[in-house]
Chains A and B, each alone.
Chain A
Amino acid sequence: MKEIINLPVKNVEEEEYHINMGPQHPSTHGVLRLVVSLKGEIVKSLKPHCGYIHRGIEKMCEKDTYPQIIHLTDRMDYLSAHINNHAVCMLVEKALEVEVPERVKYIRTIVDELNRIASHQLWWCSFGMDMGGLTCFFYGLRDREKILDIFEESFGSRLLHSYYTPGGLMMDIHPNFQKNVKAFIKYFRKKIKDYDELLTGNIIMQLRTRGIGVLSKEDAISYGITGPSARASGFACDVRKHDPYGVYDKVDFKEILGTTGDTLERYMMRMHEMHESMKIIEQLIDNIPEGDYAAKMKAVIKLPAGEYFQRVEAARGELGVYVVSDGNKSPYRMKFRSPNFSNLSVLDHLSRGCKIADLIAIGASLDYVIPDIDR
């Protein structure tokens, strides 16, 4: 300690100091560590250190069979578990050239969108909380609970469902599913007004987010930002639109693009997306065709040797799954392109010159889920 105290002080005015935000910090949403260089309250630079919750999912996948991988992808971005699973399932189906029944596609699309709403609700909660409005947290969770109840009734669990399986679904949806989803949409249409009144329109929130952390379209592309955060900068990157899977090509929805690319715009993107997701669900929920809930698959799934790639639009951006198969029942190499990892990389660029409070707001608007960053 002596040495530190006796360090020559060059120029007190010029001196920067460092703060370790995290690994345990209320607003890093998990075990992320940000080494922040500050001058007064101004952020000079920032270095994210990830890996605190690295579980080696990619390596673990190499010993698992393809149906078993599903339970690991659940745990990557646990807030959009279904969507992650969808990517793996589609990859296997594509490699084996299996055509899944139409019913499966419908159900998967609906469940994905429900999952997206649930994820955005939780994002809204934590955004509100990071801004200091604790009440948001409870309203968001209250409404998310309704989706989780629907999930629990149909798939048996609330967060990590392992519901999709290569070739289809683990089981058919519950008879009450359609009724409950419709009831939820009716309920949530009402409640989302509360969200707008409580936080979106609030002058404090507007002042704190407008013009903060502006991300240009060029930067969004060069940093590899995807999802709502990139669309806020006007970068059209919705995989659902540009490389449709499931039944997204049959439904009518808008890819909403922002213009300013600041924190408020990123916030608005997600609010709009919840409305769009509800629209998608409404178009599909009454038209689920009859049929099997899974295609016939071999007992042991072996992908032909080769490389495969599949991407989906997860709640936070584009999730890519890349598999090298050597013809065995488990992949030779598996790689996930997780949206949060690249979204995190832009944090330094965005927060330079901002205040600590802005850093928190920017971080909240990028909506990172740490287990997805570290995998």
Chain B
Amino acid sequence: MNFSIYDFTSFTQWIDKVLYDNLPAFWAIAVEMTIIGVAILLFYALIGLFLVYAERKVCAFMQNRVGPNRVGPFGFFQTIADLFKLLMKELVYIKNADKLLFNIAPFIVIIASFMAIAAIPFAKGLHAIDFDIGILYVIAVSSLGVVGILLAGWSSNNKYSLIGAMRSGAQIVSYELSVGLSLVTIIILAGTMQFSAIVEGQANGWFIFKGHIPAFIAFIVFLIASTAETNRGPFDLAEAESELTAGFHTEYSGIKFAFFFLAEYMNMFIVASIAATVFLGGWMPFHVGGWEGFNHIMDFIPPFVWYIGKTFFIIWIMMWFKWTFPRLRIDQLLTLEWKYLLPINLVNILIMAFIVLMGWHF
């Protein structure tokens, strides 16, 4: 087998072949699923830890300080130390809490984000499942997380948590709409919902450039709406630490709190990857039509690096939002969605459809 970091297809196919050759079909698929599960789990944990560290460093730099710098070089192992701290913490038992729901909630949140990650193409051929309705699947799965948040708030027997959960419910239900519609804009342009096809479609230019202004507007709307959907500042009303102490996860401690914490960062990672994939070409290198030499140089950078780079760029923008803006109030949050984002989005879809119809895009 010829393995290359530019194309993982042969690599994954080789694993597939070896397994099917040596094992009965049922076991082969079981082993395959386990491998993928473990790989994604590891990836998930590493990215989660790194994002927490990155967030701390980014916010520290924006706030004119150095951030974590004690554990390891540049404080790199700070989050690992924190993870151990959280693992060893006592799981506080809440009086009169609905025990079952209370314990299930963090898992629902984390499973929702875990499922979404499966559909994301990391590089050419590095893709757990390539649904032909990939985008729809991701939207559907990632909105499951709100169930966990609602349950957490409801079952904690704490009014702060309940208020936080209710806010979160209202918020996610409305912003789902904008996230979906802004992706629809691109689906119109791409003509497919399959992630791999969307990425291939951007081989000669990213959609954000190809789709003229409507694509750019859709990108902005997606950025805002997805920030809101992941409950991050300035839309972190569900946590709102200055109002609700910690919102829906006030009563959680130890590893269950860590689950919520990790899920928040993973959700951020997922929406950033979707944005990178749909608008910025995913793992596709930066190409300019006609500049052969330039395109060739860009091709030398492995697709995985492109993908991670773009994703982290978007994550950085979302962090930039969070560490700059004050928090919105719940009614303003809904006003923003229903009075501004949604109408703009609908008009935007029309314009995009028109452009595609007339063939004005590149």
Q: Does A179 contact B (CB under 8 A)?
A: no
A138 and chain B: residue at smallest CB distance? B63
Tell me the chain B residues, 292-331 only, with Cβ under 8 Å from chain A: 323-331
B331 and chain A: residue at smallest CB distance? A355
Q: Please state if B328 and A356 are interface contacts (CB–CB under 8 Å).
A: no
Q: Does A17 contact B (CB under 8 A)?
A: yes
Q: Which of A90-98, A157-165, A204-212, A327-335 contacts B (4 or more CB under 8 A)?
A: A204-212
> Knowing A133-B325, A204-B332 touch, does A360 contact B242 (C-beta < 8 A)?
yes
Per-residue A-contact encoding for B236-250, CB less than 8 Å = 1, 0 else? 110011111100000
CB contacts (< 8 Å) of B65 on chain A: these are: 138
List 3 A-B pairs, minimum CB-CB distance, nearest first: A132-B327, A131-B326, A138-B63
Q: Please state if A357 and B325 are interface contacts (CB–CB under 8 Å).
A: no
How many chain A residues touch B (CB < 8 A): the figure is 31
Q: How many A-B residue pairs have CB under 8 A?
A: 81
Q: Please state if B242 and A202 are interface contacts (CB–CB under 8 Å).
A: no
CB contacts (< 8 Å) of A202 on chain B: these are: 325-326
The secondary structure that dominates the A interface is: helix
A212 and chain B: residue at smallest CB distance? B329
A-B contact pairs, 23 of them (CB 8 A): A1-B95, A17-B159, A27-B243, A130-B242, A131-B242, A131-B326, A131-B327, A132-B233, A132-B242, A133-B234, A133-B327, A135-B62, A135-B63, A137-B63, A199-B326, A204-B327, A204-B332, A355-B330, A356-B163, A356-B243, A356-B244, A357-B240, A357-B327
How many angstroms between the C-alpha atoms of A131 and B324 in the bound complex?
11
Q: B347 to nearest A CB, angstroms?
A: 22
Q: Does A41 contact B (CB under 8 A)?
A: yes
A20 and chain B: residue at smallest CB distance? B159
How many angstroms between the C-alpha atoms of A137 and B64 in the bound complex?
11
Q: B203 to nearest A CB, angstroms?
A: 39
CB contacts (< 8 Å) of B97 on chain A: these are: none
Q: B321 to nearest A CB, angstroms?
A: 11
Q: Does B160 contact A (CB under 8 A)?
A: yes
B239 and chain A: residue at smallest CB distance? A132
Q: Please state if A41 and B163 are interface contacts (CB–CB under 8 Å).
A: yes
Tell me the chain B residues, 138-190 only, with Cβ under 8 Å from chain A: 159-160, 163, 167
How many angstroms between the C-alpha atoms of A122 and B329 in the bound complex?
23
CB contacts (< 8 Å) of B159 on chain A: these are: 17, 19
Q: Please state if A198 and B324 are interface contacts (CB–CB under 8 Å).
A: yes
Q: Does B19 contact A (CB under 8 A)?
A: no
Per-residue B-contact encoding for A185-209, CB less than 8 Å = 1, 0 else? 0000000000000110010110110
CB contacts (< 8 Å) of B59 on chain A: these are: 134-135
CB contacts (< 8 Å) of A131 on chain B: these are: 242, 326-327
CB contacts (< 8 Å) of A357 on chain B: these are: 237, 240, 243, 327, 329-330
How many angstroms between the C-alpha atoms of A204 and B336 in the bound complex?
11
CB contacts (< 8 Å) of A27 on chain B: these are: 242-243
Q: A66 to nearest B CB, angstroms?
A: 41
Q: Does A112 contact B (CB under 8 A)?
A: no
How many angstroms between the C-alpha atoms of A130 and B327 in the bound complex?
9
Q: Does B96 contact A (CB under 8 A)?
A: yes
CB contacts (< 8 Å) of B241 on chain A: these are: 26
How many angstroms between the C-alpha atoms of A238 and B233 in the bound complex?
38
Interface residues on B, range: 20 to 34
Q: A204 to nearest B CB, angstroms?
A: 5
Interface, chain A (partner B; CB < 8 A)? 1, 17, 19, 25-27, 41, 128-135, 137-139, 142, 198-199, 202, 204-205, 207-208, 355-358, 360
Q: Which of A139, A142, A358 contacts B329 (CB 8 A)?
A: A358
CB contacts (< 8 Å) of A198 on chain B: these are: 324
Per-residue A-contact encoding for B52-65, CB less than 8 Å = 1, 0 else? 00000001001111
How many angstroms between the C-alpha atoms of A101 and B323 in the bound complex?
49
How many angstroms between the C-alpha atoms of A25 and B245 in the bound complex?
6
How many angstroms between the C-alpha atoms of A142 and B244 in the bound complex?
27
B167 and chain A: residue at smallest CB distance? A41
Q: B233 to nearest A CB, angstroms?
A: 6
CB contacts (< 8 Å) of A41 on chain B: these are: 163, 167, 330
Tell me the chain B residues, 60-100 only, with Cβ under 8 Å from chain A: 62-65, 95-96
Q: Please state if B64 and A142 are interface contacts (CB–CB under 8 Å).
A: yes
Q: B249 to nearest A CB, angstroms?
A: 14
How many angstroms between the C-alpha atoms of A17 and B159 in the bound complex?
9
18 more contacts with CB within 8 A, not counting A17-B159, A27-B242, A133-B324, are: A1-B95, A26-B241, A41-B163, A41-B330, A130-B242, A132-B234, A132-B236, A132-B326, A135-B59, A139-B63, A142-B64, A198-B324, A204-B234, A208-B326, A208-B332, A355-B331, A357-B237, A357-B329
How many angstroms between the C-alpha atoms of A328 and B102 in the bound complex?
64
Q: A39 to nearest B CB, angstroms?
A: 12
CB contacts (< 8 Å) of A137 on chain B: these are: 63
Q: A38 to nearest B CB, angstroms?
A: 8
A131 and chain B: residue at smallest CB distance? B326
Q: Please state if B328 and A204 are interface contacts (CB–CB under 8 Å).
A: yes
CB contacts (< 8 Å) of A356 on chain B: these are: 163, 243-244
CB contacts (< 8 Å) of B160 on chain A: these are: 19
A19 and chain B: residue at smallest CB distance? B159
CB contacts (< 8 Å) of A128 on chain B: these are: 326
CB contacts (< 8 Å) of B332 on chain A: these are: 204, 207-208
Q: Please state if B323 and A135 are interface contacts (CB–CB under 8 Å).
A: yes
How many angstroms between the C-alpha atoms of A185 and B234 in the bound complex?
32
CB contacts (< 8 Å) of A355 on chain B: these are: 329-331
Q: B158 to nearest A CB, angstroms?
A: 10
How many angstroms between the C-alpha atoms of A129 and B62 in the bound complex?
15
Q: Please state if B64 and A204 are interface contacts (CB–CB under 8 Å).
A: no
A356 and chain B: residue at smallest CB distance? B243
Per-residue A-contact encoding for B215-240, CB less than 8 Å = 1, 0 else? 00000000000000000011011001
How many angstroms between the C-alpha atoms of A129 and B240 in the bound complex?
11
CB contacts (< 8 Å) of B329 on chain A: these are: 207-208, 355, 357-358
How many angstroms between the C-alpha atoms of A205 and B244 in the bound complex?
19
CB contacts (< 8 Å) of A208 on chain B: these are: 326, 328-329, 332
